[in-house]
Amino acid sequence: MSEHENAEHGHPTTGTYLVIAAILTVITLVEVGVFYVPSMKPVLAPTLIVLSAAKFALVVMFYMHLKQDHRIFSAIFVVPLVIAMGVAVALLALFGVFGGA
Protein backbone atom coordinates (compact mmCIF):
# COMPACT_ATOMS: atom_id res chain seq x y z
CA MET A 1 0.00 0.00 0.00
CA SER A 2 1.43 3.36 -0.98
CA GLU A 3 1.53 6.39 1.26
CA HIS A 4 -1.27 7.95 -0.79
CA GLU A 5 -3.39 4.83 -0.40
CA ASN A 6 -2.65 4.81 3.30
CA ALA A 7 -4.07 8.33 3.53
CA GLU A 8 -7.12 7.25 1.57
CA HIS A 9 -7.76 4.52 4.14
CA GLY A 10 -8.01 7.15 6.85
CA HIS A 11 -4.53 7.38 8.35
CA PRO A 12 -2.43 10.52 7.90
CA THR A 13 0.59 10.56 5.60
CA THR A 14 4.25 10.50 6.68
CA GLY A 15 4.41 14.25 6.01
CA THR A 16 1.57 14.88 8.44
CA TYR A 17 3.28 12.73 11.08
CA LEU A 18 6.49 14.74 10.68
CA VAL A 19 4.64 18.05 10.94
CA ILE A 20 2.91 16.88 14.13
CA ALA A 21 6.29 15.81 15.58
CA ALA A 22 7.71 19.24 14.78
CA ILE A 23 4.75 20.98 16.42
CA LEU A 24 5.08 18.76 19.51
CA THR A 25 8.77 19.64 19.73
CA VAL A 26 8.11 23.37 19.42
CA ILE A 27 5.36 23.28 22.07
CA THR A 28 7.68 21.39 24.44
CA LEU A 29 10.40 24.00 23.93
CA VAL A 30 7.86 26.79 24.56
CA GLU A 31 6.72 25.02 27.75
CA VAL A 32 10.27 24.81 29.09
CA GLY A 33 11.02 28.37 27.95
CA VAL A 34 7.94 29.72 29.73
CA PHE A 35 9.01 27.83 32.87
CA TYR A 36 12.25 29.86 33.04
CA VAL A 37 10.66 33.31 32.45
CA PRO A 38 10.09 34.98 35.87
CA SER A 39 7.42 37.36 34.54
CA MET A 40 5.31 34.37 33.46
CA LYS A 41 5.00 33.03 37.03
CA PRO A 42 1.48 34.45 37.66
CA VAL A 43 0.08 32.74 34.55
CA LEU A 44 2.49 29.80 34.44
CA ALA A 45 0.03 27.07 35.46
CA PRO A 46 -2.80 27.96 33.03
CA THR A 47 -0.32 28.53 30.19
CA LEU A 48 1.35 25.16 30.73
CA ILE A 49 -2.00 23.37 31.06
CA VAL A 50 -3.18 24.81 27.71
CA LEU A 51 0.09 23.87 25.98
CA SER A 52 0.02 20.39 27.52
CA ALA A 53 -3.61 19.91 26.44
CA ALA A 54 -2.65 20.90 22.89
CA LYS A 55 0.12 18.28 22.81
CA PHE A 56 -2.22 15.68 24.30
CA ALA A 57 -4.87 16.42 21.67
CA LEU A 58 -2.39 16.30 18.78
CA VAL A 59 -1.05 12.87 19.78
CA VAL A 60 -4.52 11.45 20.39
CA MET A 61 -6.03 12.84 17.18
CA PHE A 62 -3.20 12.17 14.73
CA TYR A 63 -0.94 9.45 16.18
CA MET A 64 -3.76 7.46 17.80
CA HIS A 65 -5.93 8.21 14.74
CA LEU A 66 -9.02 9.27 16.70
CA LYS A 67 -9.56 12.11 14.22
CA GLN A 68 -10.11 9.58 11.42
CA ASP A 69 -11.38 6.53 13.29
CA HIS A 70 -14.95 5.67 14.20
CA ARG A 71 -16.55 7.91 16.82
CA ILE A 72 -17.19 4.95 19.13
CA PHE A 73 -13.45 4.78 19.80
CA SER A 74 -13.43 8.47 20.71
CA ALA A 75 -16.37 7.96 23.07
CA ILE A 76 -14.75 4.96 24.76
CA PHE A 77 -11.65 7.06 25.39
CA VAL A 78 -13.15 10.46 26.18
CA VAL A 79 -15.81 9.34 28.69
CA PRO A 80 -13.31 7.73 31.14
CA LEU A 81 -10.93 10.64 30.53
CA VAL A 82 -13.62 13.14 31.56
CA ILE A 83 -14.46 10.99 34.61
CA ALA A 84 -10.78 10.87 35.57
CA MET A 85 -10.51 14.67 35.23
CA GLY A 86 -13.68 15.10 37.29
CA VAL A 87 -12.28 12.83 40.01
CA ALA A 88 -9.05 14.83 39.99
CA VAL A 89 -10.83 18.19 40.30
CA ALA A 90 -13.12 16.81 43.05
CA LEU A 91 -10.15 15.43 45.02
CA LEU A 92 -8.22 18.68 44.70
CA ALA A 93 -11.26 20.65 45.86
CA LEU A 94 -11.84 18.23 48.74
CA PHE A 95 -8.28 18.63 49.98
CA GLY A 96 -8.36 22.44 49.66
CA VAL A 97 -5.81 22.70 46.86
CA PHE A 98 -7.88 25.49 45.25
CA GLY A 99 -7.65 27.56 48.45
CA GLY A 100 -10.81 26.31 50.13
CA ALA A 101 -11.18 24.14 53.26
Phi-psi region of 37 (alpha: psi -120 to 50; beta: other; left: phi over 0): beta
- Site for another protein contains 48 (CB under 8 A): yes
Quick check: 76 binds another protein (CB under 8 A)?
yes
**67 is a contact residue toward another protein (CB under 8 A):** no
- Asked if residue 51 lies in contact with residue 27, where contact means CB atoms within 8 angstroms, the answer is yes
Residue 30 lies near another protein (rule: CB under 8 A): no
Q: Which of 8, 43, 68, 81 binds another protein (CB under 8 A)?
A: 81
CB atoms within 10 A of CB 62: 20
37 binding another protein? (CB under 8 A): no
From the list 38, 39, 42, 45, which residue makes contact with another protein (rule: CB under 8 A)?
45
Residue 25 in contact with residue 51, Cβ under 8 Å? no
Please report whether residue 101 would count as binding another protein according to CB under 8 A.
no
Q: How far is the CB of 74 from another protein (least distance, A)?
A: 9
Between CA 24 and CA 18 the distance in angstroms is: 10
